[in-house]
Structure 1
Amino acid sequence: MNKHPMTKEGADALQMELNRLKKEERPRITQDIADAREHGDLKENAEYHAAREQQGMVEARIKQIESVLSHSQIIDVTKLPQTGKVVFGTTVTLLNLDTDEEVTYKIVGDEEADIKHNKVSVGSPIARALIAKEEGDEVLVLAPGGNIDYEIIKVQYI
């Protein structure tokens, strides 16, 4: 079975969510269902049906998180040899050579990717272009919106 890479930070966040779902959400929903049952006829009981639907969504999310964690290889980038090369988990600061704008990305697993928080999937075009490069290297990223020339300003193992 292939394991998918995940940062320690991403695995910790999923574990926290899993604990919250199991220890807080699951018991609360069970109580909501019990309370709704006391209201009588279940066919026309909106609270009961809403709680059952919510229970299904929470249980599905629990199964999804457990599956992701069981199929992940957790990588703690702070414990990797700091060679200066871009590898999975590193945070890379780039200079766009056309616009002179700087941007910083962390290379993460597919489950953790979140462009709003500058976390790019290891399989994305930008991450693929950066892997194995180092500070000072120029890279051409074949982006959907057009090719972008970057210079790697800084590689951090944080």
Structure 2
Amino acid sequence: MSETTWLTPESHDRLKRELDALIANRPIIAAEINERREEGDLRENGGYHAAREQQGQEEARIRELQELLNNAKVGVAPAQAGVAQPGTVVTVYYDGDESDTETFLIGTRAAGGATTLEVYSPDSPLGGALIGAKIGDTKKYQLPNGNYMQVTLVSAEPYHG
């Protein structure tokens, strides 16, 4: 399941540094596993099992980062304000209730980096419904329970993470 992810150059560089550090750590983890293996009975060797668990987690993160970076589009935030698209911070209100607002980034959590904003994927029902919407447009999307919700776009500004 590869999806294109929009990344700022800064987010791409941060994720690439994380990937490089994890890859550089591979020999250290392998040495730790070998060292723990030599301690004897593996069934009761907590250090060995902890090192193997860490190795598994790091390898999973390496695969996740490689997939993300291989399918990423790197660029600056969309310059066009007023239209919801990946890389924009949007404010919406729900079901015609202008007091029920939410502001979030349309993108991916990895692309959002250290943002405090909630992040909705363009492939999510809400994110997908908003893509291409202009300020004042009302869109409908399906909730997990099968019901539908209306959402109205109040603002859309390029994300400047």
SS of the aligned residue for 1:155 comes to strand
Alpha-carbon shift at residue 15 of structure 1 (Å):
2.7
Unaligned runs of 5+ in 1: none
Give, in whole Å, the separation in 2 of the partners of 1:139 and 1:105: 16
Alpha-carbon shift at residue 123 of structure 1 (Å):
1.2
Alpha-carbon shift at residue 20 of structure 1 (Å):
4.0
Give, in whole Å, the separation in 2 of the partners of 1:129 and 1:3: 17
Residues 3 and 153 of structure 1: CA distance in aligned 2, closer, same or farther (over 3 Å): closer
Deviations 1:76-116 (A, max 9, x none): 31xx3315211111111012224721101211148669xx9
Counterpart pick for 1:87 among 85, 88, 112: 85
Corresponding position of 1:5: 5
Alpha-carbon shift at residue 126 of structure 1 (Å):
1.2
SS of the aligned residue for 2:86 comes to coil
CA contact (8 A) 2:7 2:72 kept: no
Give, in whole Å, the separation in 2 of the partners of 1:20 and 1:123: 30
Q: How many residues align?
A: 151
Give, in whole Å, the separation in 2 of the partners of 1:100 and 1:64: 38
Alpha-carbon shift at residue 157 of structure 1 (Å):
0.3
Residues 10 and 122 of structure 1: CA distance in aligned 2, closer, same or farther (over 3 Å): farther
Corresponding position of 1:153: 154
CA contact (8 A) 2:88 2:156 kept: yes
SS of the aligned residue for 2:42 comes to coil
CA contact (8 A) 2:86 2:131 kept: yes
Q: TM-score, normalised by structure 1?
A: 0.73
Amino acid at match of 2:85: V
Q: Percent of pairs identical after alignment?
A: 30
CA contact (8 A) 1:5 1:75 kept: no
CA contact (8 A) 1:112 1:119 kept: no
Unaligned runs of 5+ in 2: none
Residues 121 and 27 of structure 1: CA distance in aligned 2, closer, same or farther (over 3 Å): same
Alpha-carbon shift at residue 122 of structure 1 (Å):
0.7
Amino acid at match of 1:74: V
Alpha-carbon shift at residue 127 of structure 1 (Å):
1.6
Corresponding position of 1:125: 125
Deviations 1:1-34 (A, max 9, x none): x7613332654453343244235x5465345335
